[in-house]
Amino acid sequence: MSAQIEIKLSSLEEMFAEPAADPFDPDSRYISGMDEVVGQLRLKRRELDEKTRLLIRLPQTAVTADTAAILKAALDRYGAAQIAQNQQAIEELRVGSRRETLSAIVIATMLIILTIFLVNLIPELEQVSGALAGFVGIAVWVIFWDPIYNYVYAWRPNRLDIKVFENLQKAELVIEGKESEQ
């Protein structure tokens, strides 16, 4: 089953611009239409491989013959920019993780060599070598925590956003005009 997202906007500009929220107006928006759509798509991870139907309701006066084409082009441009930004963030994480891993290897190696040197230099330390080994093990784990986290998990939100914007670029866009309720 493909996802369907329906949003109601007062103008086409509300799709991308932050609206001027009015708490006294029950129909006032507090986030842009794009933020709402992206938020809903993030919750539908399993449906991101299927085509989404994006239904946008606008006042009849805001709908023209080329509204759908204009909005689709804007969504494609915005999606491409967001995909590029998220790919850049993933690459920055990878490069940073490589640097952190190299630093962690150097620091952990120095810590282990220093510990071995101290145990050999001070014979009394042999009596607490088990505790010292435990401390070194925990220290090495802490040193490697961030690089491992970045390799395994940190990129996932960016990858999800890439899938969200790819889905949005392929979405079926439906614009409906409605008469104002007065």
- The structural domains of the chain, with segments of one domain joined by +, span 4-75+170-178, 92-160
List C-alpha distances in Å: 106 to 25, 71, 98, 139: 60, 52, 13, 13
Cite the DSSP H helix spans in the chain: 33-42, 67-121, 129-149, 156-170
pLDDT at 160: 95
Assess whether pLDDT exceeds 90 at residue 144. Answer: yes
Lowest mean pLDDT among 5-14, 119-128, 166-175: 119-128
Q: Confidence class of residue 180 from pLDDT cuts 50, 70 and 90?
A: low
pTM (two decimals):
0.80
Assess whether pLDDT exceeds 60 at residue 179. Answer: yes
Q: CB under 8 Å to 172, separation ≥6 — which residues?
A: 51, 52, 53, 54
